[in-house]
Amino acid sequence: MSKRLYSYKRVKYWYAYDVDDICALYAEFGLHAQTVRAWQKKGLKTIDKGNPSLVYGYDLIEYLKEHNTKNKCQTAFDEMFCFKCQDARNIFQRKISIQHKAKTLFVSGHCRDCKTVMFKTYKMDNLHELKRIFHVGGVLELYDCKASPCKTHLQAHAVTSPNESLNSDLQRDLFG
């Protein structure tokens, strides 16, 4: 099972928490008391050795920050994280495809080693840098031009002959 990330922003800095209180903070994740006790064995500081074992909020925040960032992998601009290899990898043949949604570029490419599909998000400002580094193919919903796409020759043809059907155009082209 994958490692769950627990937000430290729920924890109040000056409060003291026992095991049940910590479990109640993350009840929707199903945090078990044994997990909290395992955290204590791994380094979560307690106030004293008494029962119930109490943890200061600032100690819990510090532990959760460390716990959440422990196994993170930093990727370079031209790398993506491969879930199969569990490491940052270069993109196979430097070929990517891009989808554009709300000022964000969703980029996908294949792992150089295992050919698994990898994903990464970039800001819209990085588009020119991506085009410089990678071979971009399969650009979906992304317009990199100054002219509006609605003023094309296809629309002009549709305006001049709105009553003709496509079948009659095809028949005329095929049979003269």
Print pLDDT tens along the chain (176 aa): 457 888 999 999 999 999 999 999 999 999 999 999 999 999 999 998 878 899 999 999 999 999 888 877 788 999 999 989 888 999 999 999 998 888 899 999 999 999 999 999 999 999 889 999 998 886 654 454 555 555 555 544 444 455 555 555 545 554 55
Query: What confidence score (pLDDT) does residue 172 get?
Result: 54
- What is the identity of the amino acid at 128? H
Query: What confidence score (pLDDT) does residue 86 get?
Result: 86
- State how far the Cα of 93 lies from the Cα of 150, in Å rounded to an integer: 34
The total of other beta-carbon atoms located within 10 Å of residue 21's CB is: 17
Q: Is the dihedral of CA 160, 163, 168, 170 positive or negative?
A: positive
Q: Which two tokens stand for residue 67?
A: 């716990």
Q: Which residues are bridge partners to 117 per DSSP?
A: 110
CATH of domain 8-69: 1.10.10.10
- State how far the Cα of 139 lies from the Cα of 69, in Å rounded to an integer: 33
Contact (Cβ atoms closer than 8 angstroms) between residue 81 and residue 73: yes
Domain residue spans of the chain: 8-69, 75-160
Tell me the pTM. Answer: 0.51
Nearest to residue 17, comparing CAs of 3, 2, 31?
31
